[in-house]
Structure 1
Amino acid sequence: MPRLLPRRTRLAATMAATTIVTCLTLAGCGSNLDPQQVAAGRGTGTTNGGTAASGAPPDGTVPDIDDGDLPTGPGAGDGSVPDSTGGGGGAPPDTGGDTSGSGDGSGTDPGAAGGSGGANDTPAENSATGDGAAGDCDGFKNTTGITDSEITIANASDISGPVPGLFEAARQGTQAFVSYYNSTEKLCGRSLKLLPLDSRADAGADQQAYATACEKSFAAVGSVSSFDAGGAATAQKCGLPDLRAFTVTPERQTCSTCRAAYAISSSTISDTIPKFWLKTEPEASQHVGIFYVNVAASKVNAEAFRNAYERAGMNVDVLQPIDTAEFNYATYAQQMKDNDIQFVQYFGPYQFAIKLQQAMKQQSFTPKVYFQDPTIYDANYLKQAGDVAQGVYVFSTTELFDDTGIREMALYRSWLDQVAPGAVPNYYGLYAWSAARLFVEQATALGGKLTRASLVDSLAQVKGWTSNGLHAPMAVGAGTTSPCAKILQYSGSSWSSVSGRNFTCGGLVNAT
């Protein structure tokens, strides 16, 4: 077994920061808390459908998905989501560029959605305030983070630290929506102001950032931190609404004032993933090799997927760590050959994934399936991977970034390009945009009743959140993992969904 580096080395810190969120994007980091414990830590609340928010039952299953948690409309009855271009998305905005699905969205007219909504107005589709009526502003009061002219929201993400710019996309995604909102709207006469904070991939820095957020902002929005346990107690103690892009640790998941646009609970995965592979690759599904970068978060997640796969009927022959200091990946490629592995799954940052894929090519080993988390659904991975990227599969809970026929995707990409020209859209930025939209829609609906406490209570009722079709339905209030997913494949020069146009929705597998 390769030797582990000392815990305090820069490289180990880098990999820990990256892989903690790598495992998040798949399902959850597999803590010892079961889904019921996670939900219980949040307290309960009444959902829009009138049922109490709760976690999954002890067997890891979830209630039928047609119980109101998903949007209604065409396709909803069978667990799929309505076509992204219909109804909720509206017509694509006017563009000066290509909107066929391969364009970059940079030609989008960001003001096209427009629509300033008063208390009794119905805003235009994809307007910055959402499609609901605004609350009456009578009684609106200034408080921490709110003045006569501005509402300050904080974003605490890993910007510096062992991986500079690790989650800069989350800050950019939040700023993009703030800029979009301020271009057409005000909330009871107030614009939004973003307070950027740096959590530096460090629990102590996350705590310090949230101490500042408690003092200087009304709420925190769109944050992503590798070690987000640090600020969890601080946010809860001061009653700060913390509407994150992602949560990573159980401590943040159980924080009573914290929610995430990408809702997730520990130790569960969507059963649509193993069901897809059992149907499309029945033979390969019986010869699975799971490899992971040898840090705690990836280890737990790899073991959780092994458990879930085997419970679903797949067979895992190899579960193998690869040390962060390892340079000779040929050994692992040979191990795949020796064990007749036909399905390779890897947990780790894309830079290491490329090393493994290159070693497989050098050893003339080509499995039927190479499968990874959506951290490789990134233009930077494609640039560095070259031809070894051909044919790779990823799990995804978002629509394709290039599908600018989806009005909301076009808006996200257009405003991202305005605030950060040349920035690459990714998971973190998209869910930060989603979190910012959800904050605005909830705050607008509350109107004069807006307080930290009322916003926390309101967020606890949110379910089926898709941010106008950007991503799979999320049980934001309950904080449970979405049972919906897509499988994407990179082939030729583009990504496409091989599991169908719509998200496939099922149940949750308890992977402990």
Structure 2
Amino acid sequence: MQSKFFVKTVICATALALVAAGCSRSDSGPENAGTTGGGNTPAASGAFGSLTDICGPGNAKGATARGVTDTEIRVGTVADPGFQGRPGLNQELFDSATVFTKWCNAAGGIAGREIKVDLLDAKLTEYRARILEACQNDFSLVGGGAVFDDVGQKDRLECLLPDIAGFVVSTQARGADLMVQVVPNPLDTLPVGDYKWLAEQFPDSVNKVGALTGSLPSTILVKDQAIEGAESQGMKVIYDAQYNAAGEPTWAPIAQTIKSKGIKGILWTGEPENLAKLEVGLADIGYKLDWIRADANHYDQKLQATGGGSIANTYVRSTVYPFEKASENPATQQYLDLYKEYLPSAKAKTYLGVQAFSSWILFARSVKACGNKVTAKCLLDESKRIGSTTWTGGGLHAAMNIRDQKSTECFSVLLANPKGFTLQDIDANDSIFNCTDGNILTLKGDYGKGTKLADVGKSISDLK
């Protein structure tokens, strides 16, 4: 019989593969569990990047909703850092919540209301319990995400709890009601700009493509979407395999199979450590792929730390402005500076941390716009109005369609090498991003549906 620890490790490894910015940090414990906000921090400017007056003094009044009073607004952020199988899992969600609220409160809060954040540690297997807690105390969820976010969606909708999410994982959450994603990840479309770019850069590889993911249904769904996306751009997948979701005892057999089949490109769905170990296995037998395509959660130094000099030809799709060029982008530099000022011990350079920070900015601007009528309905309405179709979080990332929750056409590509990441030439037409029409594929496969208000006997008219 497998031990409980082994099972939990498999579960965590699987979840790491599910989202582009997914479970990317696991190098420290849950430093900030509890409630954060307030403190005697010196006054700060309430502007961020290209956006002005996000936070600051004001005269907003009224106990208009759960968690809202004349003087404060209480919200929740969910993450999994207390999971014993991978301590610190997605700690960056808590860190961005802490940094943003300290900065915003120092500037005067949201129209004068101080933000109080409940840091809700789901510990991987306690997501539903944390949602039930939030339903009792919090106005909204903001900037969070959890591995098993499927189990609490009905509870969240029953208590009409909005979620301005940092990321979502499951089918149930990706298509859920009362959910706003700052980097929309819908079930029926897929960004394919980078697949097209790879096919153009490596035409000799298109008929010899492989796909690899962990051996559990949830990651297989993500991999299947990747295959559909690749095939839409003329690629032919001749090797479709699954590895042990917790990692292989040795990657030599898979590396040897890749070599024997003459695979030239790999669609990888997973996490940085396992990909790095595969690349070590390939290097050990002297086989080099033309390319490996990985999602944004691989924009992580753990790839280099694990794979060292074996990292080669690994292309990571991204929608954030790279940290390596922060001096050229005021929003990215300000994000790093705020981390240095308010939480210097934290790991600032994480893709998921940026997504979460963007969620907080959208939340604050939306609440401010609601004024004395801060309600769940107003929050959701204003977030889609303010986010519109060109939300960038003040310049942190490519333009996102918040209003319609559609996939973005914009992308950049980062090439991983043993020393770090370098931005590639992708015929950018919007800053560093390629935002060309046709970069989005409408999927033909059936990838499930999200949890709806109707599933719990409610409708949008119940939202106040």
TM interval, shorter chain, is 0.7 to 0.9
Deviations 1:464-487 (A, max 9, x none): 211012112222232222222111
How has the CA–CA distance of structure 1 residues 432 and 424 changed in structure 2, closer, same or farther, with 3 Å as cutoff? same
- Report the counterpart of residue 459 of structure 1 in structure 2: 383
Does 1:386 find its partner at 2:386?
no
**173-182 vs 491-500, which moves further:** 491-500
Alpha-carbon distance in 1 for matches of 2:444, 2:282: 29
Worse overlay, 336-345 or 493-502: 493-502
CA contact (8 A) 2:247 2:274 kept: no
Distance 1:188-1:310 versus aligned 2 partners, 3 A rule: closer
Q: Which residue of 1 aligns with 2:260?
A: 338
Which piece of structure 1 moves more, 136-145 or 174-183?
136-145
Q: Which stretch shows the higher mean deviation, 353-362 or 454-463?
A: 454-463
1:422–1:212 distance in 2 versus 1, CA, 3 Å: closer
Q: What aligned pairs does 1:195-234 form with structure 2 within 5 A after superposition?
A: 195-202=118-125, 205-234=126-155
What's the counterpart of residue 359 of structure 1?
281
Bigger mean CA offset, 294-303 vs 8-17: 8-17
Asked if the contact 2:135–2:161 (Cα under 8 Å) also holds between the matched residues in 1, the reply is: yes
Does residue 502 (structure 1) correspond to residue 432 (structure 2)? The answer is yes
Q: Counterpart amino acid of 1:313?
A: G
Matched, 1:438 2:351: no
* TM, length-normalised to structure 1: 0.75
Alignment of 1:91-490 (within 5 A): 114=45, 125-127=50-52, 129=54, 137=59, 140-161=62-83, 162-202=85-125, 205-323=126-244, 324=246, 326-405=248-327, 406-417=329-340, 418-461=342-385, 462-463=387-388, 464-490=390-416
1:364 CA drift (Å): 0.3
2:277 match: secondary structure: helix
- Provide the rounded CA distance (Å) in 2 between the counterparts of 1:115 and 1:155: 21
CA distance in 1, matches of 2:207, 2:7: 33
3-state DSSP of counterpart to 1:114: coil
Deviations 1:189-236 (A, max 9, x none): 22111111111112xx21211111121122111111011112212222
Q: Is the 8 A contact 1:269 1:511 kept in 2?
A: no
Instruction: Determine helix, strand or coil for the equivalent of 1:432.
Output: helix
Q: Residue 283 of structure 1: SS of its match in structure 2? A: helix
Instruction: Indicate the RMSD between aligned Cα atoms, in angstroms.
Output: 2.7
**Which residue identity lines up with residue 117 of structure 2 in the other structure?**
L
Task: Give 2:14's aligned residue.
Answer: 19
Describe the shift of the 1:370–1:507 C-alpha distance in structure 2 as closer, same or farther (beyond 3 A): closer
**Unaligned 5+ residue runs, structure 1?**
28-109, 117-122
Going from structure 1 to structure 2, the CA distance change for 1:446 and 1:147 (only over 3 Å counts) comes to closer
What letter corresponds to residue 406 of structure 2 in structure 1? T
Change (3 A) 1:200 1:387: same
Cα displacement string for residues 145-169 of structure 1 (whole angstroms, at most 9, x for unaligned residues): 1233221111111121232211111
Q: Deviations over 1:56-88 (max 9, x none)?
A: xxxxxxxxxxxxxxxxxxxxxxxxxxxxxxxxx
Corresponding residue number in structure 1 for 2:36:
none
Amino acid in structure 2 at the alignment position of 1:23 = L
Paired amino acid for 1:330: A
1:140–1:188 Cα contact (<8 Å) kept: no
- Report the Cα distance in structure 1 between the residues aligned to 2:137 and 2:60, rounded to whole angstroms: 24
The structural deviation recorded for 1:489 is 0.5
- State the Cα distance separating 1:424 from its structure 2 match: 4.2
Per-residue displacement from partner, 1:220-270 (whole Å, max 9, x unpaired)? 111110111122122222222211101111222333212122211125321
How much does 1:360 deviate? 0.2
Q: Distance in 2 between matches of 1:269 and 1:211?
A: 32
Conservation of the 8 A alpha-carbon contact between 1:308 and 1:511:
no
Q: CA separation of 1:335/1:279 partners in 2, compared to 1, >3 Å: closer, same or farther? A: same
- What secondary structure, in the 3-state scheme, does the structure 2 residue paired with 1:200 have? coil
The CA deviation string for residues 155-187 of structure 1, in whole angstroms up to 9 with x for no partner, is 111121232211111111121111111121222
Name the structure 2 match of 1:32: none
Q: Secondary structure at the match of 2:289?
A: coil
Larger RCO (CA under 8 A, 6+ residues apart): 1
Range that drifts further, 174-183 or 461-470 = 461-470
The letter of the residue matching 2:173 is R
Contact 2:67 2:139 in 1 (8 A): yes
Separation (CA, whole Å) in 2 of partners of 1:113 and 1:385: 41
Alpha carbons 1:135, 1:447 under 8 Å: kept: no
Partner of 1:286, secondary structure, is coil
Q: In the aligned structure 1, how far is the partner of 2:359 from the partner of 2:58?
A: 23
Worse overlay, 489-498 or 358-367: 489-498
Give 1:167's aligned amino acid.
N
* Separation in structure 2 between the aligned mates of residue 423 and residue 460 of structure 1, nearest angstrom: 30
2:371 partner SS: helix
Shift of 1:113: 7.6
Identity of aligned pairs, percent? 21
Q: Once structures 1 and 2 are overlaid, which stretch shifts more, 165-174 or 230-239? A: 230-239
Whether contact under 8 Å (1:169, 1:428) holds in the other structure is: yes
SS of the residue 2:411 aligns to:
strand
Q: How far did residue 21 of structure 1 move? A: 4.5
Q: Counterpart of 1:129 in structure 2: which amino acid? A: I
How much does 1:24 deviate? 1.8
* Partner Cα distance (2:12, 2:404) in 1: 26
Q: Aligned equivalents of 2:124 and 2:384: distance in 1?
A: 28
Asked whether the 8 Å contact 1:114–1:124 carries over to 2, the reply is: no
The answer (yes or no) to whether the contact 1:239–1:453 under 8 Å persists in 2 is no
Alignment deviations for residues 346-387 of structure 1 (CA, whole Å, 9 cap, x no partner): 221222112211110011001111221222211232222211
Secondary structure, in 3 states, of the residue corresponding to 2:262?
coil
Cα separation, partners in 2 of 1:433 and 1:26, compared to 1, 3 Å: closer
Cα contact 1:305–1:511 (8 A) shared by 2: no
Structure 1 window deviating more from structure 2 (469-478 vs 12-21): it is 12-21
Structure 1 residue 492: deviation in Å?
A: 6.3
SS class of match (1:425): coil
Listed one character per residue, the Cα deviations across residues 77-107 of structure 1 (whole Å, up to 9, x for unaligned) are: xxxxxxxxxxxxxxxxxxxxxxxxxxxxxxx
